[in-house]
Amino acid sequence: MRYVSIIYKRMRPEAARLAHHLEAWFTKRDMEVFVRENIDNSGVNRIYEKIDIPPQTEAVVVVGGDGTFLSVARFIEEKSIPIVGVNLGGLGFLTEINAESCFAEFEKILAGNFEIEERMALRVSVRREGEEIFSHRVLNDAVINKGALARIIDLHTSINGHFLTHYRGDGLIIATPTGSTAYNISAGGPIIFPTARVVILTPICPFTLTNRPIVFPAEVTVMVEVAEPAADVTLTCDGQIGCPIRDFDLVQVSAASTPLRFIRAPGVDHFEILRSKLKWGQQ
């Protein structure tokens, strides 16, 4: 490994300090380093910008939290550059290395003591009157939900062209295994091991209590039509970017053509992260 890019959390001095310490540390090992502060792309109908990560980059290091990691993952898009996250606090579901141990973990990585773990992503698009008006790749989830003052929404949902059901309620989460521990788990959805290849549909506060989460194989295409009236309904991707939804808009979700490649250091244990974040076994 000779070229690394470091993207750090915006407006956080401690993230900038750690990023530049890492820059010096990598440079001392005869590596070239590209360092940038992250940019804010969050919001609905925002003009989406990207950080142009140099094409010679062999690994991307994200310094921040899981939110920063999700935004940087979109910059990579269809590239196969592996990515690793350093969390400024404790362990994150995505930023799995903590700041205190990061130099020791990177020593192992540079020595070749690591694994590449592939995580499936989703391609989410919105079609309005036959025209695509929105398209993004997401790592965690796509969420269709109503605003605070909106009434129950009606979502006509099909799988590979076959009608599934009308979801009536506050909305619908379409998640990856990586996103199963995000909004999905709060809405009562299942935890899925992150390297699995499945798509999870979890209704949010369904009017019909027998509407339960469903897990589908990764090869399916999910189509959701928003029925009338669709006042104050929004599609949100990874909790960061989104698009307002109108009556009869079609939301299409399928597996992205390329997975995201995670660098897994040997000192990181997914089950340890679950126990820590979800407080399993604690009184």
Q: Check residue 90 and give its pLDDT.
A: 64
Alpha carbon distance 46, 234 (integer Å): 13
Residue range 121-170, pLDDT digits in tens: 999 999 999 999 999 999 999 999 988 777 789 999 999 999 999 999 99
Overall average pLDDT of the 82-100 stretch: 88
Assess whether 66 carries a catalytic annotation.
Answer: yes
pLDDT over 70 (residue 212)? yes
Residue 266 neighbours by CB distance under 10 Å:
11
Percent of the chain scoring above 90 in pLDDT? 76
- Residue 232 or 125, more confident: 125
Q: Check residue 50 and give its pLDDT.
A: 84
Does residue 233 contact residue 244 with C-beta atoms inside 8 Å?
A: yes
pLDDT over 90 (residue 176)? yes
Confidence of residue 266 (pLDDT cuts 50, 70, 90): confident
Does residue 84 contact residue 270 with C-beta atoms inside 8 Å?
A: no
Q: Which residues contact 165 (CB under 8 A, 6 or more apart)?
A: 157, 211
Does residue 182 contact residue 141 with C-beta atoms inside 8 Å?
A: yes
Overall average pLDDT of the 30-56 stretch: 87
Annotated catalytic residue: which of 30, 40, 52, 66? 66
**From start to end of the chain, where are the E strands?**
3-8, 32-37, 43-44, 59-64, 83-87, 97-98, 115-119, 122-128, 131-138, 141-146, 153-159, 162-169, 171-175, 198-204, 214-217, 222-226, 233-237, 241-245, 250-255, 260-264
- Per-residue tokens: 15: 């993230």
Domains of the chain as residue ranges with CATH: 3-119+259-278 (3.40.50.10330), 122-255 (2.60.200.30)
Overall average pLDDT of the 211-238 stretch: 93
Q: Which helix (H) or strand (E) holds 108?
A: helix 102-110
DSSP-based three-state secondary structure for 178: helix
- Residue 65 or 45, more confident: 65
- Per-residue tokens: 229: 């009236």
pTM for this model (two decimals): 0.93
pLDDT over 70 (residue 283)? no
User: Helix crossing, 102-110 with 13-27: angle to 10°?
Assistant: 30
Average pLDDT, the chain: 92
Confidence of residue 244 (pLDDT cuts 50, 70, 90): very high
Per-residue buried b or exposed e for 92-119, using 16+ beta carbons within 10 Å of the residue's own CB: bbbbbbbbeebeebbeebeeeebeebeb
Q: Which of 175, 178, 170, 159 is nearest to 213 (CA)?
A: 175
Does residue 78 contact residue 257 with C-beta atoms inside 8 Å?
A: yes
Residue range 185-207, pLDDT digits in tens: 999 999 999 999 999 999 999 99
Percent of the chain scoring above 70 in pLDDT? 98
Confidence of residue 91 (pLDDT cuts 50, 70, 90): low
DSSP-based three-state secondary structure for 184: helix
